[in-house]
A and B are shown apart, each in its own frame.
Chain A
Amino acid sequence: MTAPWHKAIRDVWHERTRTILVILAISLGIAGFSAVMSTYAILTRELDRGYLATNPASATLWTDSIDDNLVAAIKSSTAVSDAEPRRTVRARIRTGPMEWRSLVLFIVKDYGDIRVSTLNRETGAWPPGTGEMLIERDAFQVAKAKIGDTVTIKNSDGDEHTLRVTGGVHDVGQAQARMENAVYGYITLATLAQIGEEPYLDQLKILVARDRYDEAHIRAVVDDVKRVMEKNGHPVRRVEIPEPGKHPHAALTGTLLLIISTFGLFVLFLSGIIATNLLTAMMASQVRQIGVMQAVGGSRLQIARIYLAQSLLLGACAVILAIPAGMWGARAMSLYMAKFLNFDITSFAVPLWVYLLVAAVGMIVPLLCALYPVWHAADISIREALTSYGVSGNKLRTSFFDRALAGIARPQLFAIRNSFRRRTRVLLTIATLAAGGVFFMAALNLRSSMIHTLDGLFAQRKYDLMVQFAELSPTENIERAVRNTRGIARAETWIVSQGSTLFSKKPTASHSVGLHGGATTVDKNSFVIIAMPADTHLMQPEIIAGRALKPGDEDTMVVNSALASRLPLDKPARIQMGPGQPTFRVVGIVREPFSPAVAYIPRAFFDARHPGMANSLRLKLDGTPINQVKSDLEANLRKEGLRPIASMSNGDGRYGFDQHMLMIYIFLIVMSAVIALVGGLGLMTTMSLNVMERRREMGILRAIGATPAVVWLMIVIEGVFIGIVSWIVATVIAAPLSKGVSAVLFMAMMKTRLDSIIEIPGILIWLAISIALGAIASFLPAWHASRSSVREALGYE
């Protein structure tokens, strides 16, 4: 090994403190990068693997009662490899005194022979016996129940029954129960009969024999199956074809991974800035040696090679540190995401390409960071190099900044001016620290914006409680039950239905119950139709274009923001509603963030067709506890022979939103904490470098009478000053950035524009954090500098 290589290696060891800082800075970025890449690899593989292992149905067809002959007829088709009947019944489960939650009961004919959309047995008994229910593993906490408990449920008639919880299952294809604020239960046909429901199965889940991931083929097979079913006297009223081979949460996971990946790259970029700072400082301290090497015949390339080799060595060390940390991070992140999305990870194995990519990035990043400082330093003239004193002599007392500092006490003035002696370095440090602040403040701004936007949404709803009926019911009976219930200040009967736009020729998926029954295939263009009194007191829509409904309207429609792109303002809208295709005129657009597509029409439209009927009740209470009203009202409705199937308070409706928002908010706060950590590390390295380079000056200060405390204070002031400048930068950037993020991110994820709110406490909290970071980051370097003797400091080179 030649002397230049010896130098490359020994310098790394000789400058141990800086070496450790550089390795830490790079490894932090590489660890973040490796964590997100590994998470990406693990999740994309495991999400689909777990889902596909359940043999998910290619399509589900809803009909009336399905018998064995029908199943056999469908299975006899060569295009269908399997078919299995199921049923889903909506009910409610008691979760506390007068507290009921939505219960979705899945009925399986034979738990010993589930072949399509299988369930994974988790804990307790299997299969459920008569009078027993299994609960989806994520739904236990929603149900506030455990295995062995006896729970009370209400069937669709409102009759109460008890079931014993005997086990837990994992239903991979279901949305997380906590997010939906619903309980998923699994029972047999016999249990269904026991709780007072007709014991039949009405869903046929089919699995196509070939081309399982070809949606067009699946659709063609479904058409054939539908014909067979109808030929056998079973009209198909609804079809659902999920995206083939894709977990229902694949798109959401993709968006989350995209955000996480962007964040990983950002952390990598920030750590690159710190590494560049440190490597620049390392090069600055090497200037004389470079001059000597040039004097003894070293060319620019030969000298640059020594330092680039050092960077590679640092990169290799950083990769060795970063990969285990990144893998640990990937494991934690994958587990969190898996829990959030309710799926299991069977293997945390990371593919080889991730290791290779991380190693390549780990080696290239420090090389890139070093390229400019190395090339620049290797280009310095020998004369300059041999007379270098480390800190350049910038002109002071000439700029506006310097004049603005007039009047500040000299030690503090010295500290503030010192901050800007290495301007590039301090600007990069400020940028790194400010990035943490921007994320933190943007996170708080986003949180406030989300809360404010949701407040606005719920403020439009002037009712406290909504009750949904199983079918159209006489308003006379509903109103009598309301009159007999205490605590209700105002009540209105509404009609909730389903419609779809007609221009789509590509039916793909659906999740609706047609009010009018009838054979129809609904698709992604479906939307909710709410018919309410045109002069309603229980809804105050935020009209953003056109007008609200008004008395006398009949064929008019107000659409919400999610539907406005499909049904434009002032245009006739011909829609599919049950078997009919009425035409409305869109007269207004109401802003409803985070909401699915909804159209509001006057009740008069239904009154002309179904006079005196309604299927929904909205109530404003007078302050009586909501559970009390719910309980009394339900009893009174049943006395009237009505069948309420669901009741939901505004609080219940808000819960799901808050759960989703909480996830985003926590994610943003964690991100800002990580970036603040990187920024703090950046500030610490800058302060260490500043102090190291000015050890001789510290000696001079001490020699002319400065006490160790004064030296210490000057350095801490310098750190705090940088922290405050970064806070100002962050504050200026955070407001427009959070507005931009809310516009882009939320529009992409949720098709919603947020109200823009600036969280003032967030600005003040970050000021405190910036000052604290500045003080903490400069504390140690200041301590060392103030402790070293005058002789040591003056002799430092």
Chain B
Amino acid sequence: MIELRGLTKSYETAAGAFPALRDVTLNVPAGEMVAVVGKSGSGKSTLLNLIGGIDYPTSGNVAIAGTSIHTMPAGKLAAWRGRNIGFVFQFFQLLPTLTVAENVMLPMDFIRKVPARERRPRALTLLNRVGVLDQADKLPAALSGGQQQRVAIARALANEPSVILADEPTGNLDSVTAAAVLELFRQIANGGTTVLVVTHERDLAKIIDRKVELADGRIVENAA
């Protein structure tokens, strides 16, 4: 599903080029749940950005479900991302002026894969799946952090993506809520969606299929 070959990413800074990722090669099969761990600045978020087509690599290849996205122009990449990738962020990043259901419908409105009349029912189905259906018509500000993150997961699933990328999705949640959110990701992976989670959570062995550890932009551990 995810194939990374010799992936390198450098950022230009005032002090010169900073290598965030160095020659990373990684294969993740469909339906696997992978935890990406490492210290701050180790390159975890950069790795997710490159997989999600948010950023371009300095060198190397990124192929998702057989599609090489590192050569795809930015205009096409937006639509591709909407169809194939679901993002979940640490600070939820729900749009404050849209209701919970509308937040979930937004990717469907952009991509138009789901017919217009089916978007709300689908949004409600997804909200039900993540356990916040009763909050559907509220604004995000009325929800707790855990509920907002569930909505963000529902939004990530809106267009039935093949990959979910979650950047520290539990970083802003208490331990009980964090465990529930990770369990939700496990269920999504069980359904056949590949899930990559950047996390600092320690007790993950029971729910993940593989752990990838990064240090100074290199993979130092890739263990199932």
Contacts and interface: CB of A to CB of B under 8 A. Distances in A.
A288 B96 CA distance: 11
B10 to A, nearest CB: 14
B78 A298 contact: yes
B54 A293 contact: no
A295 B81 contact: yes
Place the interface of chain A in its size category: 20 to 34
B54 A383 contact: yes
Given A297-B107, A302-B110, A292 B159 contact: no
Given A2-B116, A383-B54, A296 B98 contact: no
Interface in B87-106: 87, 89, 93-99, 102-103, 105-106
B72 interface: no
Interface residues of B, number: 33
Interface string A253-288: 000000000000000000000000000000000001
A776 interface: no
Given A297-B81, A299-B79, A383-B55, A4 B93 contact: no
Given A7-B97, A10-B98, A289-B95, A296 B55 contact: no
Nearest to B93: A292
Contact of A300 (B49, B75, B86): B75
Interface in A3-17: 3-4, 6-7, 10-11, 13-14
Query: Interface SS of chain B: helix, strand, loop or mixed?
Result: helix
Interface in B155-198: 155-156, 158-159
Nearest to B104: A3
A562 B91 CA distance: 77
A743 interface: no
Contacts of A7: 95, 97-98, 102, 106
Query: Interface SS of chain A: helix, strand, loop or mixed?
Result: helix
Nearest to A302: B110
B209 interface: no
Contacts of A302: 110
Given A3-B103, A296-B110, A297-B107, A381 B55 contact: yes
Interface string B110-144: 11000010000000000000000000000000000
B99 to A, nearest CB: 8
Contacts of A289: 93, 95
A386 B89 contact: yes
B52 interface: yes
B98 A297 contact: no
Interface in A283-336: 288-289, 291-300, 302
A294 B49 CA distance: 13
Find the residue from B83, B94, B102 having the highest chain A CB count within 10 A. Answer: B102
Contacts of B55: 381-383
A302 B78 CA distance: 11
Contact of B93 (A3, A300, A383, A386): A386
Contacts of A4: 106, 109-110
B57 interface: no
A296 B87 contact: yes
Contact of B158 (A6, A296, A299, A382): A296
Nearest to A8: B97
Contacts of B78: 294, 297-300
Nearest to B76: A299
B146 interface: no
B217 interface: no
B82 interface: yes
Contacts of A381: 54-55
Contacts of B93: 288-289, 291-292, 295, 386
A296 B82 contact: yes
Nearest to B45: A383
Contacts of B96: 14
Contact of A2 (B49, B81, B105, B158): B105
Contacts of A382: 49, 54-55
Contacts of A3: 98, 102-103, 105-106, 109
Nearest to A382: B54
Interface of A: 2-4, 6-7, 10-11, 13-14, 288-289, 291-300, 302, 381-383, 386
24 contacts: A2-B116, A3-B106, A3-B109, A4-B106, A4-B109, A4-B110, A7-B95, A7-B102, A10-B98, A293-B95, A293-B110, A294-B81, A295-B81, A296-B82, A296-B87, A296-B155, A297-B78, A297-B110, A298-B78, A299-B110, A300-B75, A302-B110, A383-B54, A383-B55
Interface of B: 49, 52, 54-55, 75, 78-79, 81-83, 86-87, 89, 93-99, 102-103, 105-107, 109-111, 116, 155-156, 158-159
Given A2-B105, A14-B97, A299-B75, 15 more contacts: A6-B97, A6-B98, A7-B97, A10-B97, A288-B93, A292-B94, A292-B95, A294-B81, A296-B86, A296-B110, A296-B156, A297-B79, A298-B110, A299-B78, A381-B55
